Amino acid sequence: MRTNEPLARHTTLRVGGPADAYVEPASEADLAAALGFCREREWPFLLLGRGSNLLVRDGGFRGVVICLADAGFAGIEVTGQRLTCGAGARLKAVAHAARRHALTGLEFLEGIPGSLGGGLRMNAGAMGAGLFDVVDAVRIMDFHGQVEERARRDIPVAYRSCPLFRDHIALSAALKAQPGSHETIAERMSQFSQKRWSSQPAAPSAGCIFKNPSAIPAGRLIDELGLKGTRVGDAVVSPAHGNFIVNEGEATAADILALIDLVQQRAQAERGIALETEVEIVGQD
Ligand code: EPU
């Protein structure tokens, strides 16, 4: 547990002021204790995964940031065609574990730069597949520390959202895969990875910054509006992909928010489209 922990260290955008307190529980009991501590004092708390879809404002977070980064939450166990994975496991590690066991269906997780818990919370997806397409069951904790298992059929999901996680924390999930061949799985993973590297920037970002509106993919819209390369400070609309804002070095959260606002205003004024952020925005100015 640390105090005044800079959250820029824990987000892929590398911006964000300090959290009053930052804790990495090592077990479910630790997590329940941290939640109890916050509940008794009525302190706000924020669950953090790999910070890959998170924009923390420059004033930081008043309360406790709980991060499931400890090895106790990162296990991946393979039994037959099921992978039971801790919420802190990286999606990339899950994809590679499936490949090692010659299990197919999870290749698309390879390039999603997040943890399983964060991916569940936002119903992450890539390459035409969504995380909940491969979930069988999820083990969850409510904010009072009660643990239960929920079957996939009892979990409603929507595009880039899963309402269950408004008041529950993912502890682990059982994912289903099918038997496959090492070569085909490795080939699919390499194709996905090539597609990603040829169309997405490598510089620090939060992945796609906006949800895709139904009318047009956000990246194409921003491209058509001629906004690629637009900058506020060190925050830049990526020249590689219009739906990414990259931090070229010293960007602040305020720079990124100003750039988001500029893009939203242009999309609204010129095309009548309200772009909604996909990235979660938290903290104080
Ligand atoms: N496009 C352009 N210009 C650009 C960017 C894209 O014209 O600057 C065009 C592309 O040519 C394509 C279309 O827009 O015709 C869609 O682009 P892309 O195939 O890159 O997919 P996307 O919809 O922008 C989605 C996910 C990504 C995921 C990719 C690959 C969302 C908001 N984004 O991107 O997820 O990696 O597919 O599967 O759903 C994320 O969620 O953070 C994310 C990066």
- Least Cα distance to 151 among 126, 128, 176 occurs for 176
* Domains of the chain, start order: 2-67 (3.30.43.10), 75-198 (3.30.465.10), 201-282 (3.90.78.10)
The widest CA-to-CA distance across the chain, in whole angstroms, is 54
Cβ proximity of 5 and 22 under 8 Å: yes
- By percentage, how much of the chain surpasses pLDDT 70? 100
- Grouping H, G, I as helix, E, B as strand and the rest as coil, residue 284 is strand
Strand-strand pairing, 231-232 and 125-126:
unpaired
pLDDT band at 269 (very low <50, low <70, confident <90, very high): very high
* Class of residue 104 by CB neighbours under 10 A (exposed 0-12, middle 13-18, buried 19+): middle
Average predicted confidence (pLDDT) for the chain: 97
208 half-sphere exposure, CB direction, 13 A CA radius:
23
Report the atom number in ligand 1 closest to the C-alpha of 228: 8
Strand-strand pairing, 76-79 and 82-86:
antiparallel
Q: How far is the CA of 51 from the centre of ligand 1 (A)?
A: 20
pLDDT band at 180 (very low <50, low <70, confident <90, very high): very high
Gap between the Cα atoms of 118 and 280, Å rounded: 11
- Predicted confidence at residue 26, as pLDDT, reads 96
- pTM assigned to the model: 0.95
Pocket lining for ligand 1, CB < 6 angstroms? 126-127, 199, 207-208, 211-212, 217, 219-220, 223, 241-243, 278
